[in-house]
Amino acid sequence: MPPTLSIIIPTLREEQFLERTLKNLQTLSLPHEIIITDGGSKDKTLDIARAYDAKITVWDKPRRQTFGEAKNAGAALASGEFLVFIDADVLIPAPQKFFEEALSVFAKNQKLVGITVPLKPWPENHSLVDAFFCAPLNWSYILLNNILHSGNSSGEFQMVLTDAFRDMGGFSEHLAAGEDNELFRQLARKGRTLSYWKLFVQHSLRRPHKLGWLRTYGIWLKNGISVALRNKAAYKEWSVVR
């Protein structure tokens, strides 16, 4: 039976996080495949991926791979009806129930081409500060997808119909960052996108924890405006936070 879900995880030196993410997905019994699209890790990232029988594609060019290139490379290996893009440090609570409900959302709305969900911190990282700063991000995606129908989403979780993804040519590969937002804006021109608030995923929030929430919001805002208005990232390369 071909997989219903192709779960695509871009990686670059993710030995600290990846095993927890893959172990979490072992409770998923729906037909699925896991695809690791690696940017050239020299740590134990690929060993971990192999231990969980993931499909693997590795970037072999001297320059750094963009997120769009990484995700498109994973999508090229995919055979599922749905593409699910998550970060290497994302946990999906109760994956079987999560994806059963997500699939039911698609089944009920034939115009739906992509969904995202709210973001919460890992349970052990939860704080009032994190809850406070996650809230406006989550509400903005509800506004942009569910009410304004303009499409927008961050890359921690995106679930997309494979046919719609391929019809539009996938992610923009020239963007150093913001390819996730741009994907949903393009999808919203083909059908409906949705921020499904009844589900959520959990993230390490490593960037705001290291850089600070205000600085991180400033970086996101600057890059988002640049991509939306100029179709160009505000940064030549997205900084790696480990």
CB atoms within 10 A of CB 101: 13
Q: In the predicted model, is pLDDT for residue 32 greater than 80?
A: yes
- What CATH number belongs to 5-230? 3.90.550.10
Residue 1 confidence (pLDDT): 64
Asked if the model's pLDDT at residue 241 lies above 80, the reply is no
In which band, very low, low, confident or very high, does the pLDDT at 127 lie, cut at 50, 70 and 90? confident
Coil, helix or strand at residue 136? helix
Q: Which residues contact 231 (CB under 8 A, 6 or more apart)?
A: 172, 182
What tens digit of pLDDT does each residue of 195-222 get? 999 999 999 999 988 989 899 888 888 8
**Do 35 and 9 meet the contact criterion of CB atoms below 8 Å apart?**
yes
Average pLDDT estimate for 27-43: 96
**pLDDT tens profile 83-109:** 999 999 999 999 999 999 999 999 999
Q: Sketch the domain layout of the chain as residue ranges.
A: 5-230
Q: Determine whether 55 is exposed, middle or buried from the number of CB atoms within 10 Å of its CB (0-12, 13-18, 19+).
A: middle
pLDDT for 225: 85
240 falls in which pLDDT band (50, 70, 90)?
confident
Contacts of 65 (CB under 8 A, 6+ apart): 12, 39, 40, 59
Least confident of 44-48, 173-177, 190-194: 173-177
**Pick the residue with more confidence: 227 or 130?**
130
41, 11 Cβ separation under 8 angstroms? yes
In the predicted model, what is the mean pLDDT of residues 229-241? Answer: 77
Q: What integer pLDDT is reported at residue 161 of this predicted model?
A: 98
Q: What is the pLDDT of residues 139-191, one digit of tens each?
A: 999 999 999 999 999 999 999 999 999 999 999 999 878 899 999 999 999 99
Average pLDDT, the chain: 93
Write the DSSP symbol of residue 58.
Answer: E
Q: What would the mean pLDDT of 47-56 be, rounded to a whole number? A: 96
